Every structure is written in structure tokens, then in C-alpha cells.
Structure 1
Amino acid sequence: MQRFVQPALSIVIAVAVAWLVAFTVEILVRREQARSTPPVWVSLQRRCRASFRTTLTLAAILIALPSAGFNGPVVEVIREVLVLALIAAIVWLLVQLIRVGEDVALSRINVDVSDNRRARKIRTQVVLLRRVMAVVLVLIGAAAAAMTIPSVRAFGASFLVSAGVLSVVVGLAAQATLSNLLAGIQIAFTDPIRIDDVVVVNDEWGHIDEITLTYVVVRTWDNRRLILPISWFTTNVFQNWTRHEARVLGSVILHVDFTVPIDELRAEMYRLVQESPLWDGRDWVLQVVDTTPTTMVLRGLVSSADAPSNWDLRCDIREKLLIYLREHYPHTLPKLRADLSDGHQPRQFGDNSSAPDGTPRSTTPSRPAE
């Protein structure tokens, strides 16, 4: 019994020392966090605490295990398991450190401005690069873990002879994954879309809510989420309303009668946009852009600092213009017309009446549509 107490005690002491070191580091981080305002200390405390403790604990056990005096095949298996766990803990710690760097970088980017295109570009690149680095670290960790197992190492060496065939098979099997990964890297550097961009995808208007290495989340105006493969944005046509600037120019379409006083309606629209806090004070216009057999088509253009403001401004202008027409010029709202210029009155026939050619007529008298 005594020969197991001393080895176990050495392992417990090693673990206690590891926790003491971790506790000391946490105290120092909290002290620096209280002294200064940079977010790096807050992020370190929040993200790296558990992974740092786990890494130190596993490393301490592995260091103390040879001096504990345990031998046998079971101890060898335990040692291999601990090595794999330590590799996983180190990868976990490194990934969390990358997230700390992401937090620090994003904290210095201000997106709460009217023209935040450059800030959103940098933010998108930082997020995508963090994810690429995390994937690379996981792959390196998995390869390192596999190389610690003798059987797996021998199995991998036997495949080096047929590496060409294996690479072709793996490439064909992971074609979609690799294409999405390359598309994510391409989007990070070519900048076709950014987080919070206003886009129209498959006739759906929305914002870019999230960009990962495999898919993009588009949040529509009614808070639905469209999940699209990231490669879709490199192979399909879509609209990006905030590609060069956050400012948006939107249209208001009205169908009115031909007798509408356009100058008065234009003056009313100018008064409305001047009174609206959603207008950025730059562009507005009201023009006759088309006609139909029964109406005249007016298009008003108004500009705003961003897409949500422009949407609300367009709805507000459209509503108030319709109220103005209804109250001041109700006769200019769309109506149907009938031409009675030939002077003939509609004839009314009885139940058995018929046209001159003998075709039965309807019993309902015809009248001009109101």
C-alpha cells in the first residue's frame, strides 16, 4: 500500500503546483485588468481560464508520471491518452488565444458610424482569418496526435507509396468542402460581401448576419435566416447595396391619374423629405417614368445614410403622399374610364332580347365603370 502512496502523492503535488501557477497567473491578469482599460485582459480572463488550467494540469501529470514509478502496459496506455489529451488542450488554448486577438482587433473597430464600409471590411477579414487559423491549428493538432500512435504512424507510412492515388480520392471526396474553404478565403481578401452588408439574394432583401468558412447567414427584413453555401457568392449574381458606401438611394412608386398636378405633388414631396430625420439631405427627385393605359407612373427617389433608414423613409413618403392626394386631389387617384363620345346611349334589352344578328344579350344594362 505504501508503494502506491508516494507515487500518487507526487502526482498530487504536481497537480497542486500546476493549479498554484494557474491561480497566480489569474491574479496577475485580474490586477492588470483592474489597472488598465484594454480589453485584452478581460478577454484572457474570459476565454483562456479553463484551457490554461487544463493544459497545465495535464502537463504536470505527464511530467510527474515517470518519477512516480508506475510501470506496465496499462501505464503506457494511460501515458498515450494523456499525451493526446495534452495535444488537444494545447490546441484548445491556442484557439482561445486567437479568439483573444480577434476580440482585441474588433474592439478597435467602430461600426456605429454612418459610413462603416471600411470597418465592416476589416471586421469580416478578422473573423474569417481567425476561423482559418483555428481550422489549421486543429488539423495540425490532429496530425500531431496521430503521429504519437505507433500503429497509426506505420499505417500512414505505408500509404506514402500510393500518395498520388490517395490525394485524388481525398480531393474528390472533399471537393465541396475544399471549394467552400477556398471561397471563404477568397471572400476574405476580395471583399465582395462584408458583415452587415445589405444584399438581395434570390429576390430576398436582407443583411449579411454571419460569414463562416462554409456558409453565409443572411438575415431578411422579417428576421428569417437564409443559410447559403459560401461558394454560392462566388458563382452566382446577387445585389450588394452597400458595396462602396453605406448610403442608399431608394425609390417610391405611385400610380396616379393623368390629371394629377405634378408640380404640387413634387412640392409636397420636397416638404416631406425636408421634415423627415431619415433623409440625409442629399438626393431627392420626383419624375414621371412610365404610363399605362389607365395611369401615370411616378417615381420618387430619396437617399438615406443606410438601408434600414431608407426603407422607413420610403414607406413614410409613400404613405403621406397618398394621404395628400386623397385629401386634396381625390379625383387624381387611379380610375377606369369609358369613352361615350359617339353619343349613343347603352340599350337595355329584356329577358328574350337579342342583338341584331340574333345573339342573345345580357339582361344587365351596361354602364360606364366608375
Structure 2
Amino acid sequence: MRGTFFSSLSDIRPWFGWMPPTLGSLLILFVIGTLASTISGFIINRVLTRIPGRRSGSLIRTAAVALRHPAQIAITSTLMIFAIPALDLPVSLAGSLAHLFAVILVLAFGLGLMKSARIGATSYISHLDASADDREEDILGRKHLTQVRLLQRMAEIIIGVLTIGAALMTFDPVRQYGLSLLASAGAASIIVGFAARSVLTNLIAGAQIAVTQPIRMGDMIAFNGDWTWVEEINSTYVVLRCWDKRRRIVPVSYFLDNPFENWTYNSAELIGAVYLYLDFMAPMDMIRVRLAEIVEACPEWNGKDFSVQVADASDRTIMIRITAGARTAVRSWDLRCAIREGIVSWIRQNCPEAFPQTRFSAHASEGGEPPWDYDYSSPALPRIESRPPRW
């Protein structure tokens, strides 16, 4: 096949005999590259992108679109490398062109590998998204999502470094320098280790997080007093989205060196607590019954966890602790707000004397006379009618 290709070039060369040999050879090389790029692009667009099928066909179509340009560059560079020896080019120019196309071929191959890794990760993640009913409660899905994202980024970094290294090693000075570094690998590794200590620390931490997974994509993290969601895990840093849409950029190594709260580690369910400070005269039986009605009417309640207890008492008030479970932390917040609003409104309308009150007692002096003539005591607090007031 190679001989056929060379003989075809030999037959084409006389067509450009009216031009200088070097210029004619370059023109033939340009025509070969243009035809190779056009034909390969046509095949990819007309054939591979029209393969039927929902799953395997969709993957092939996606890969064909993403890998179209690297494939065209690789095919064109390969044909031009094969064509250079059959053309009438000076030795120095032929060597330079062959070296240039070899570097382009290596870069195109590396770019294709990086895009292939991204296509595989995206396909797997889309399959997870399609099979997940509730992303917040899908612990296994978020576990796989975290592993795939971290492995994808690490693979892209490794492929990029190896590709650039392979392209540079085609140059003689760089190759000699690389061999000298290998000869003194001990000193070089120490120097590189000190220079890239923070980068290597975060890369290794990213690999540890992919395996041990103290955090996952979509986890809710209590970070410096804020509610945050893990929005993105990169190879060296983590993006945390706050409840008010602020973003916190945190090094990956932070989550291995410092303690933190992960509210969705094993389950997204969370038990929230509401604290009420009431008077000693508060009718607890009525309040407990009403709280049960409020919680059962809330769609955020998980139907399992609920309790009402007098948790503490001071010299003026008692503290009521209401606990209720919800399926997620956000729903727990909404549930607690609904409980607090509902019970305060009910107490205001039905038993306002249950709110905290200030009491004092005045006694007569030793002579039997009251300390003052005017009665400073306030009248009893009236109940608020359920009907609207008349203005």
C-alpha cells in the first residue's frame, strides 16, 4: 500500500514540472493535506454522525463530533509524513517538515485522548442523572459522580503532561536534558518536590477524596457557619456554593486536614429542633396536641421523627424543644419555620398568657401601710378574639 502511495505521487509530480521542484513539492504536500482533511471530515460528518441507535449510536455520534478535529489533524499529519520522502524536497527542509508534522500528530493524539476521557465521563454521568430520582437522596449516585469527575480531571492532567513531554522529547536538546535529569533523578525529584509541594499535595488529596470520599458532589457542608453545597470538585480545589449563591474556593487538602460537618454523608435526612420560651402557666397538653397537628400537616415532615419536651426551666420561663425530621436539610429548615410560625400564631390567638411574663410582688412596710397609695399593678391580659377587630 505504501508503494502504491509512492507511485501515485511519482505520477503526480510531472504535473507540476513547470514549477521549481521545491515549490512544486510543497504545493503537492498542501493538496494532499487539504484532500485528506476534507475527505476525513466528510466521512465523519456524513457517516459516523448519522449512525442510528439510542444508546450505542448516541455515544458514537457524540464521539464523532467531539473527535472530528483531532482525527482530521492526525490523518492529515500521517499522510503528509508518508508523502515527504517521495517528494523532491531538500534534506533539511524535509526533516524539518517531518518533525513538525510528528509533533502535530503527537499533540492531536493527546487531545483525542483527553476528549475521549471527557466523553466517557459525560456519558456515565448522564446515565446516572437519568436513573436518579432525587439527587439529594441518591448517595450512591453522588459517590459515583465524585469518583468519575475526579478521575476524569486527573486523567486529563496526566494525558496533557505526557503529551507535552512526548512532543518536547522529539527535540534533541530537550531529549538530552531529559536523559541527564533521569541520570540525576534523586536531586531532580527533591527540587521538583519542593517547588510543586502545594500542587502535589492537592493532587494527592484529590486522589484520596476520590477513594475515601469524605465529601461528594452535591453534599451539604457546614463551612464556617454557612450552609454550603459541594458544587464542583477539581483536582486541586473544591467549589462550595453558599445558600445565598456565593462561592467559596477551598483547597482539596483542607478536607483531609481539618474537621468539618457533612450533613448528607450517609443520608440526607436531618432532624431539626425548634425552641420556644413560654411562661409557667402555658397549657402544655394543648400545645403538644396543636404541635402534632401542625407537624402532620407539613409536607416537609418525613413522618417518623417528632417530639415535644420541656427541655429546661429558668426562674422566669420554661424552654420547650420541638424536634421533627425531614428528608433533606433544606426541607428541615422550611419545616422548622412552619412549626415556629404556626405555634406562635396559635398561642397568640388561644392562650396568650403562655407567652413569657414579668411578675413582681409588693409587700406592706412594718407599720402595716402599703408602700404607695396608687395601684401600679397592670390589669389581667385579655384573650385575643378569633374574629377580626372592629376599627
> Among residues 37, 47, 69, which one is paired with 1:18 in the alignment?
37
- Once the two structures are overlaid, the 10-residue window that deviates more, 291-300 or 141-150, is 291-300
Paired AA for residue 126 in structure 1: V
Q: Given that residues 32 and 80 in structure 2 are in contact (C-alpha distance below 8 angstroms), is that contact kept between their aligned partners in structure 1?
A: no
TM-superposition CA deviations, 1:285-313 (whole Å, max 9, x none): 12222234433222222212222222222
Structure 1 residue runs without a partner (length 5+): 349-365
- 1:274/1:286 Cα in 2 relative to 1: closer, same or farther (>3 Å)? same
Pair 1:112-2:133 in alignment? yes
Paired AA for residue 31 in structure 1: R
- 1:215/1:346 Cα in 2 relative to 1: closer, same or farther (>3 Å)? farther
TM-score by length of 1: 0.86
Aligned to 2:295: 273
Q: Given that residues 279 and 356 in structure 2 are in contact (C-alpha distance below 8 angstroms), is that contact kept between their aligned partners in structure 1?
A: yes
TM-score by length of 2: 0.82
Q: Given that residues 8 and 68 in structure 1 are in contact (C-alpha distance below 8 angstroms), is that contact kept between their aligned partners in structure 2?
A: no
Q: Given that residues 19 and 57 in structure 1 are in contact (C-alpha distance below 8 angstroms), is that contact kept between their aligned partners in structure 2?
A: no
Q: In the TM superposition, what are the counterparts of 1:1-370 in structure 2 within 5 Å?
A: 1-3=19-21, 4-32=23-51, 34-38=52-56, 39-71=58-90, 73=92, 76-109=95-128, 110-113=131-134, 115-335=137-357, 337-343=358-364
Paired AA for residue 21 in structure 1: S
Q: Secondary structure at the match of 1:50?
A: helix
- Once the two structures are overlaid, the 10-residue window that deviates more, 303-312 or 191-200, is 303-312
Once residues 275 and 132 of structure 2 are traced to their aligned partners in structure 1, the CA distance between those partners, rounded to angstroms, is 32
Q: Secondary structure at the match of 2:48?
A: helix
Once residues 364 and 38 of structure 2 are traced to their aligned partners in structure 1, the CA distance between those partners, rounded to angstroms, is 104
Once residues 47 and 325 of structure 1 are traced to their aligned partners in structure 2, the CA distance between those partners, rounded to angstroms, is 64
- 1:2/1:302 Cα in 2 relative to 1: closer, same or farther (>3 Å)? same
1:80 positional shift? 3.2
- 1:57/1:266 Cα in 2 relative to 1: closer, same or farther (>3 Å)? farther
Q: Matched residue pairs, number?
A: 350
Paired AA for residue 174 in structure 1: A
- 1:346/1:36 Cα in 2 relative to 1: closer, same or farther (>3 Å)? same
Once residues 188 and 45 of structure 1 are traced to their aligned partners in structure 2, the CA distance between those partners, rounded to angstroms, is 30
1:188 positional shift? 0.5
Max radius of gyration: which structure?
A: 2
1:37 positional shift? 4.1
Q: Given that residues 346 and 367 in structure 1 are in contact (C-alpha distance below 8 angstroms), is that contact kept between their aligned partners in structure 2?
A: no
- 1:253/1:28 Cα in 2 relative to 1: closer, same or farther (>3 Å)? farther
Once residues 314 and 105 of structure 2 are traced to their aligned partners in structure 1, the CA distance between those partners, rounded to angstroms, is 74
Once residues 256 and 333 of structure 1 are traced to their aligned partners in structure 2, the CA distance between those partners, rounded to angstroms, is 5
Once residues 346 and 101 of structure 1 are traced to their aligned partners in structure 2, the CA distance between those partners, rounded to angstroms, is 88
1:318 positional shift? 1.6
Structure 2 residue runs without a partner (length 5+): 1-18, 382-391
TM-superposition CA deviations, 1:131-151 (whole Å, max 9, x none): 111111112112211211100
- 1:46/1:315 Cα in 2 relative to 1: closer, same or farther (>3 Å)? farther
Q: Given that residues 216 and 228 in structure 1 are in contact (C-alpha distance below 8 angstroms), is that contact kept between their aligned partners in structure 2?
A: yes
Once residues 271 and 135 of structure 1 are traced to their aligned partners in structure 2, the CA distance between those partners, rounded to angstroms, is 57
1:367 positional shift? 8.9
TM-superposition CA deviations, 1:161-201 (whole Å, max 9, x none): 43211111111111111111111111111121110111111
Once residues 64 and 292 of structure 2 are traced to their aligned partners in structure 1, the CA distance between those partners, rounded to angstroms, is 55
Paired AA for residue 213 in structure 1: S
RMSD after superposition: 2.5
Paired AA for residue 171 in structure 2: I
1:333 positional shift? 2.2
Aligned to 1:362: none
Q: Given that residues 277 and 318 in structure 2 are in contact (C-alpha distance below 8 angstroms), is that contact kept between their aligned partners in structure 1?
A: yes
Percent sequence identity over aligned pairs: 31
- Once the two structures are overlaid, the 10-residue window that deviates more, 244-253 or 288-297, is 288-297
- 1:55/1:334 Cα in 2 relative to 1: closer, same or farther (>3 Å)? farther
Once residues 343 and 53 of structure 1 are traced to their aligned partners in structure 2, the CA distance between those partners, rounded to angstroms, is 105
1:73 positional shift? 4.2
TM-superposition CA deviations, 1:104-152 (whole Å, max 9, x none): 2112213332630011101111111111111111121122112111001
Q: Given that residues 15 and 61 in structure 1 are in contact (C-alpha distance below 8 angstroms), is that contact kept between their aligned partners in structure 2?
A: no
- 1:286/1:234 Cα in 2 relative to 1: closer, same or farther (>3 Å)? same
TM-superposition CA deviations, 1:24-79 (whole Å, max 9, x none): 133333222x4334541353244323333333333333333333333254554444
